[in-house]
Structure 1
Amino acid sequence: MNKTFNLLFFIKKNKIRTNGTAPIYLRITIDGKAADIAAKRYIDPQKWDVKAHKAVGNSQEAKTLNIYLKTLEQQVYDSHYQMLKEEDFVTSESLKSKLLGTDISTRMLIPIFQDHNDKVEALVGQDFAPGTLERYKTSLKHTQEFIIWKYKTSDIDITKIDHAFIMDYDFWLRSVRKCANNTAVKYIKNFKKIIRLCMANGWLSKDPFLGYKAKLKAIERPYLTKEEIQTIYEKEFASDRLNQVRDIFLFSCYTGLAYIDVKKLSKSHVNLGIDGDKWIFTHRQKTDTSTRVPLLPLAQELILKYEDHPECVNSNVLFPVLSNQKMNSYLKEIVNRVDISHRKTYIRHDCYIVQWCSNRKCKQNARSYQYKNHSALCEDLG
């Protein structure tokens, strides 16, 4: 709802015509922002009452002009009232467009969201990671499903997005989609970026997220123990794909590198460190920082195992890494076969490096990863 709304008529003396008359304009001011509309009438500046904002005198000409201006003023009031009923919030420019018949074209949410995702996709590998694009795609899909569920339509005018929309979307994610708290908060956060984009472009004048509060909850995830890692290491599977996934997972455990960082590793990333041993020199994608990782004997063993693998040779990578989705799927299968009670996915491998490493490299590891109490946890695996 608008806080202030004012109208006044005035003449523009800098546009006086050759016959000495000046054009009359109507100024619409809403919440401090003004827009001028030509009244399509002219008057001698000497016959205009600046304070009363109307023609001076009781002549028929003055009466006719003032009646016309009063009628135009009433049209503005009527249009403003109608727009408030439909939109809840009106700007001076939108009201002006309404009066002139050049209403601002309706902007729908889904095309705006899709355009954002298209731009993210074009910048994947430069400013965005592939995973970021997938998250926005999923967020768009959820948004479309919510709109259909709530409004029985495939899209919605962005000016219709209010606080109630956000609260209902949050409820839908948690109830219909059965998302956990953190998952729901992340989807809402992705949607909030689209709203910020609309506001930055001036398409929305009010932030629907005002008053909305949701926080991520800290989640304690179980670490793999040394015994569990050893069980996975010793287990041989009849399927080559499971053995391959197991080896890549173990390499992640021995180095603390994330899935995407292992996937990008090539022989050029392996070099001698200042201690004369082999290290991995790479760039972490998630943090966009360079990192150095000492190669434990078991990690080197795995690299040698795959150095002649066709995919490694042809693509110049250290390991034939599958997609993240397949890796997680096969890891669950591995976990079930080795009877590890608590569920683990690929992304938990990086916790294991906190619990054990080679004593010989303990100090270097502690400096590289900045883990607390690292020296108290390490064991000699040499």
Structure 2
Amino acid sequence: MQVDFTSRLLKKEFDEQFKKAPGGKNIFFDAYDEFMDQKIKNQEWKPSTEKRYKNIKNILKEFEKDRKYKLTFNAINSKFHAEFTDYCMGEKQHVNNTYSRNFGLFKTFMLWAFKNGYTYNEEFREMQKVPKVIIPQVALQKTDLEKLMQHDFKNDRLERVRDVFVFACITGLRFGELSLVSKTSVKDDLLHLKEEKGAEKEVRTIPLNDLALYLLRKYEYKLPLIANQKQNEYIKEVFEKAGYTHEVERIVIRGKQVERIPVLFKDRVSTHTARRTFITMLKRDGKSDKLISKITGHKDLKTLNQYYQVDDDAKKEAVAETFKINFNTVKKAE
């Protein structure tokens, strides 16, 4: 497909190649800014997505400065790919999954630039992302939730943080969805959830068990929410006070290198642990992916299954239940 250059675009490209762009202007970052502006105005991104693209722009700026690699559309080639990968995973210490996600978003920008006539260079299409790896994450069990609920924190702040976290664990809601809960959204022990963004999304119905209803009534159907960052900070304190002081192993993968780092259990817990716990507990109880996805809102079952954490206890239970074999052997005659 041939795209006509505008005179402005052609002049900028010419100036860039011959280092005559006024005031250090660079068509590459001009295009990036236009790309972001268009996506934001078209309401295509969530705030978290916008934040990620801003972060990638900062990384590209730092890469250009630190590696002295002038970024132009013609410079997006195999050399750039090697240099940028080495920079992100070496100097920036990005793990595989972080780099894979960021480079995927970068390629989305490049595709936009190609379709909008900023470049005819298609080498970016052949650039492969570092493969994502499945890293074991923390998921709680029923006994953990019981332990949290039975603990007296003697502190209203920690009790509220505990209650919000446990409510998320037993409903599977994302932290950002908790603000949508209200008395009018609850009917017949079901939470009817309609996201504010995405008119095309159907209303989800989430069953509320006795504990979920108790927590809602405790706060008159208005959960005591705080900023996600503070919730993540305080939930670690909740687990520490509840006696979770043991260490677990954290696996970090950069390229082909695998590091196993001992960290405190509480430091592996975040608001996202709640959603992972909900899915893992239902999966371990034999509930179908289709049923779970109807509650969580997942469209892609592959994504849903990435939340499912198989720990050593689950392995032991599976083998013990499957291989219940009577092994009273007959003694051989001597």
Same fold per superposition (TM over 0.5): yes
Q: Distance in 2 between matches of 1:356 and 1:181?
A: 27
CA distance in structure 2 between the partners assigned to 1:183 and 1:242 by the alignment? 31
Cα separation, 2, equivalents of 1:321 and 1:335: 18
Higher Rg of the two aligned structures: 1
**Which residue of the partner structure matches residue 227 of structure 2?**
323
Bigger RCO (CA 8 Å, 6+ sep): 2
Find the counterpart in structure 2 of residue 241 from structure 1. 157
2:173 paired with 1:260: no
Q: Distance in 2 between matches of 1:217 and 1:102?
A: 41
State the identity %: 22
TM-score (norm 2): 0.66
Moved more, 215-224 or 294-303: 215-224
- Give yes or no for contact 1:114–1:140 (8 Å, CA) kept in 2: no
Tell me the CA shift for residue 177 of structure 1.
1.3
Report the count of equivalent residues. Answer: 261
Aligned to 2:136: 220
Unaligned runs of at least 5 residues, structure 1: 1-31, 34-90, 273-277, 308-316, 378-382
Deviations 1:114-148 (A, max 9, x none): 3333333434xx43222111211222222222111
Corresponding residue number in structure 1 for 2:98: 183
Q: How many Å apart are 1:102 and its aligned residue?
A: 9.6
Structure 2 equivalent of residue 349 of structure 1: 274
In structure 2, the residue matched to 1:164 is 79
1:237–1:243 CA contact under 8 A, matched in 2: yes
Gaps of 5+ in 2: 17-25, 247-264, 297-303, 306-313, 318-334
Partner of 2:218: 305
Aligned with residue 28 of structure 2, among 85, 109, 113: 109
Shift of 1:240: 3.2
3-state secondary structure, aligned to 1:320? coil
Match of 1:280 in 2: 191
> Partners in 2 of 1:132 and 1:169 — Cα distance?
21
Contact 1:109 / 1:158 at 8 angstroms: preserved in 2? yes
Deviations 1:178-231 (A, max 9, x none): 111011111111111111121112222122324422221123323201121122
How many Å separate the matches in 2 of 1:271 and 1:240?
A: 29
Asked if structure 1 preserves the Cα contact closer than 8 Å seen for 2:175 and 2:228, the reply is yes
In the TM superposition, residue 290 of structure 1 has moved relative to its aligned partner by 2.7
CA contact (8 A) 1:282 1:292 kept: yes
Q: Does 1:118 align with 2:40?
A: no
Q: In structure 1, what is the Cα distance between the partners aligned to 2:165 and 2:204?
A: 19
Whichever residue aligns with residue 110 of structure 1, its letter is: F
Question: Whole-Å Cα distance in 1 between the matches of residues 4 and 294 of structure 2?
Answer: 58
1:283, distance to aligned residue in structure 2 (A):
3.0
Give, in angstroms, the shift of residue 289 of structure 1. Answer: 4.2
Q: Distance in 2 between matches of 1:365 and 1:231?
A: 27
For the Cα contact (< 8 Å) 1:258–1:347, is it kept in 2? yes
Distance 1:353 1:337 in 2: 23
Structure with more of its chain in strand, by fraction: 1
Q: CA distance change for structure 1 residues 93 and 330 in 2, over 3 Å: closer, same or farther? A: closer
**TM-score between both structures, scaled by the size of structure 1:** 0.59
Map 1:35-50 onto structure 2 (within 5 A). none
CA RMSD after TM alignment = 3.7
In structure 2, the partner of 1:56 is none
| Aligned residue number for residue 295 of structure 1 | 208
